[in-house]
Amino acid sequence: MKPVIKVIGGISPKHEHGVEYDQADLLILTKVYGQDLGGGPQSFDLHHGGAISKAIAEQNFHGAAGEHLILSFAGQDGARRYVAVVGLGKPEEVGKRRVCALFNYAFDLARLPEIQAKSLIFPIFPYRSTGAVLNLRATGAILRCLVAERAERGTLAPLEEIRVLCAPQARAHIESGMAVEHSLCSQCRIPKLR
């Protein structure tokens, strides 16, 4: 089964960077090597009582590609929710292959026996470091392509919904990238996040 992808234009500094949308089973935050979390992820950290930055400090998490940490919280409805912080590596290393690997890695995390996420949220914050290397349309196209590939392989269950949280101005760009109907690679070789 192919999960539904929803693009939500809800990130705004006036609205705490979209923390009101933090209702998925798994929230994916990213960290670039050697940099702090940034304003958007820091808002989510505050929303979770500073537990994310505390875990980053305790585990000496730097943001190397493939490095991750997972935190567990009780949601408002009492259900278990998870936050994964995934390292992207150095800013100059972040490109199409790295973003494809990130999405793939997130889908693998969602399938972990202890998580089994039915819903996943990817915030894409404004002013991200990869702006010059990777645009929003490309990000949407990569996500759509990988979801289609993994759905064909049957490796997305139990995931039912993927939410992309972005700024209102970014929504149309991401959606136009997701409208790309062809595979981005002649042969899909899903890259590893390393």
Is 4-178 a domain of CATH 3.40.1350.10?
A: no
Domains of the chain by residue range: 4-178
pLDDT at residue 38, as a whole number: 80
Average of per-residue pLDDT values in the chain? 87
pLDDT band at 167 (very low <50, low <70, confident <90, very high): confident
Q: At what angle do helices 168-178 and 136-153 cross, to 10 degrees?
A: 50
Task: Answer with the residue of higher pLDDT: 138 or 131.
Answer: 138
Whether 144 shows a pLDDT value over 90: the answer reads yes
Read off the pLDDT of each residue in 54-71 and give the average, rounded to a whole number. Answer: 94
Q: What is the pLDDT of residues 79-125, one digit of tens each?
A: 889 999 999 999 888 888 999 999 999 999 999 999 999 999 999 88
Q: How far is CA 44 from the centre of its chain?
A: 13
Closest CA to 102 of 194, 182, 33: 194
For residues 32-37, average pLDDT: 88
